[in-house]
Structure 1
Amino acid sequence: MKLKITTIGNSAGVILPRELLTRLRLQKGDELYAVETPDGIRLTAYDPKLAAQMDVAEEIMREDRQVLHKLAQ
């Protein structure tokens, strides 16, 4: 899909067609992440930093399951 860079106020932006928003499951106001890859830039709704933080949180929750269960009571 070819996108065109356009002027938006004093900045430049890309307008995402409705079809692309639907495919990415995005709506106005959602965040989109630009991730640099060896092949170029990938636009994604997936936040790699948040995913890494969630992996750490899940590991801690597994290790301290009994403590968290007691705290929940």
Structure 2
Amino acid sequence: MDNLKIEKVGDSLGVALPEEIVQKLQVKEGDTVDISETPDGVEITNRAPNLEKAMQAYQKINEKYKNALRELSK
């Protein structure tokens, strides 16, 4: 694993990911990644590409059919 230099990005700190890591994560500029604490340190994972779209669709359906979904859940 490469050593990554921490750099100032605006008012925050960041690192530049090597191309090998970018390819493994299958991410591009503007994508969102999840960072989780693990017993061994931290883990960076690619957020499911369609998760945001799926959540938006769910919210629309949930609002529109709230009563029907409540009845079906009984």
For normalisation by structure 2, the TM-score amounts to: 0.56
Q: Which residue of 2 aligns with 1:17?
A: 18
Question: What secondary structure sits across from 2:44 in the alignment?
Answer: strand
The structure with the greater share of residues assigned to helix is 1
SS in 2 for 1:23: helix
After superposition, the CA RMSD in angstroms is: 2.7
Could you tell me which runs of 5 or more consecutive residues in structure 1 were left unpaired when the two chains were aligned.
51-73
| Runs of 4+ deviating beyond 6 Å | none
Partner of 1:42: 43
Q: Helix, strand or coil: the match of 2:22? A: helix
Contact 2:5–2:15 (CA<8 Å) still a contact in 1?
A: yes
Unaligned runs of 5+ in 2: 52-74
Q: Is the 8 A contact 2:32 2:47 kept in 1?
A: no
Q: Could you tell me the percent identity over the aligned residues? A: 44
Q: Give, as a single letter, the amino acid of the residue that structure 2 aligns with 1:3.
A: L
Instruction: Give the aligned residue type for 2:21.
Output: L
- Aligned partners of 2:26, 2:34: CA distance in 1, in Å? 14
Q: CA deviation at 1:24?
A: 1.0
